[in-house]
Chains A and B, each alone.
Chain A
């Protein structure tokens, strides 16, 4: 029988404001065995009367980092996310267990994927597990051709914007394509609509190159990406999906 994933108390080392709504929690964990890029953790909050709430959050940091990063999007009427983004302070403790999930993962050392270009498509905070993959890819010096198509509501709401700029500027095998669905800067020349068939036909690898696709975000975006990639000729088994429902809390 597998060993139980134990709850442990991490310490908040730093809280980083990523966008007006999203913050990254940098956590120091006493007992962390390494994770795979794409995996998640369960976070558990306990109130004074013993009431508990649990939610899952993707790990945004790569396996090589000393600290664990979770990026949390504040959901206005959520129960857990407002506490994580607005209630927590550096030095506080946070209870969690993980890493969890063995399918929505990408490991640069996995020879199975040798030569398969990566196509990543994210919506909003769905970028988190894909960012772990990009960071892991950069750390391990992998040169597998990679494209990220990232849908955000506005320029200000692009999570990890500067780091994505930096990663793609330093790496000719990585291309990052943004689309802004609600508001765009006056001089914006990129896409300005939700991800659709035409956008995927322009940005995704040809199925002939045997790409591996990961998509994470709200259900409507994930469904649109997965359905259209299938239509373009992607193999169903090479499209991996992770959904952040509206009730992620």
Chain B
């Protein structure tokens, strides 16, 4: 049924997106040049002298950085395409931050093979869950600059998680720490009807997709 339905008189216009670029837009998404803002509550504003970042959970030793220490970690500037579950995609966005490989270097994950999940905790109470396999080996960062400027609070500043290959709700804003755990636990949107994994190329928007 759904395959054959045609919306009477609908032409669409997004084919104006360049053909090569179009291959970078997952199904059901459209390209935007703006940077829309989405969040479920007010924007938290934690002063930098009270900001820190922790890695803890079912691991031998916790790690913690102050804002100053965090800025001294090796940084990377990179380009990524991002895909929001509300249908917009934004191509070639430029970010600067610290790779999760760097952050997790002090955790001996190989000695704890059954610790396979990460829960991101954020100011404002937001959480999201990710398999460790999805955030290791150059796939995820904690970023603090967008387009060469400090990340604005409404976009998740001072720092947000960035996991470009999954829907953007997994790239948690205002991130303050990771809990590493054996058992997966759905986060904020994952318990409010959204998909537990969120692969945009498989269009995993909602639970059951």
A44–B29 alpha-carbon span in the complex (Å):
11
Residues of B1-22 whose CB lies within 8 A of A:
1-2, 5-15
Which residue on chain B has the smallest CB distance to residue A86? B9
Instruction: Say yes or no: B42 contacts A229, CB within 8 Å.
Output: yes
Checking B1, B40, B191, B205 against A241 with a beta-carbon cut-off of 8 angstroms, the contacting residue is: B40
B111 beta carbon closer than 8 Å to chain A: no
Smallest Cβ distance from A199 to chain B, in angstroms? 17
Q: Hey, which bits of chain B sit against chain A, CB under 8 A?
A: 1-2, 5-15, 27-30, 32, 34, 36-44, 86-88, 124-125, 154, 188-189, 191-193, 205-209
The residue among B27, B88, B206 with the most chain A CB atoms within 10 A of its own CB is: B206
A241 touches B14 (CB 8 A): no
Q: Interface of chain B, helix or strand or loop or mixed? A: loop
Known: A226-B41, A227-B43. A47 touches B10 (CB 8 A): yes
Structural contact, B36 and A5, CB atoms closer than 8 A: no
Q: Say what secondary structure dominates the interface of chain A.
A: mixed
Q: Which residues of A contact B32 (CB under 8 A)?
A: 247
Binary per-residue interface labels of chain A (99-113) against chain B in the complex, 1 for a CB within 8 Å, 0 otherwise: 011111000000000
Question: Which residues of B lie under 8 Å from residue A102 when comparing CB positions?
Answer: 191-193
B9, B11, B208: the one contacting A5 at CB < 8 Å is B208
CB contacts under 8 Å to B, within A1-38, are 1-5, 7, 9
Among residues of B, the one whose C-beta sits closest to the C-beta of A2 is B207
In the assembled complex, which residues on chain A have CB atoms less than 8 Å from the CB atom of B88? 245, 247
User: Which B residue's beta carbon lies closest to that of A1?
Assistant: B208
Binding site for B on A (CB under 8 A): 1-5, 7, 9, 42, 44-48, 51-56, 79, 83, 87, 92-95, 100-104, 219, 223, 226-227, 229-230, 236-237, 239-241, 243, 245-247, 249
Is the Cβ of B86 less than 8 Å from the Cβ of A56? yes
Q: Which residues of B contact A236 (CB under 8 A)?
A: 41-42, 44, 124-125
A9 to B37, CA, bound (A): 30
Max chain A CB contacts within 10 Å: which of B14, B41, B87, B154? B41
Top 9 A-B pairs ranked by shortest CB distance? A2-B207, A245-B36, A4-B208, A102-B192, A226-B42, A2-B208, A45-B7, A247-B32, A219-B37
Known A54-B87, A94-B7; judge A243-B36 contact (CB<8 A): yes
Q: Are A241 and B39 in contact (CB under 8 A)?
A: yes
Q: Which residues of A contact B10 (CB under 8 A)?
A: 45-47, 53, 83, 87
- The smallest C-beta distance from A59 to any residue of chain B, in angstroms, reads 14
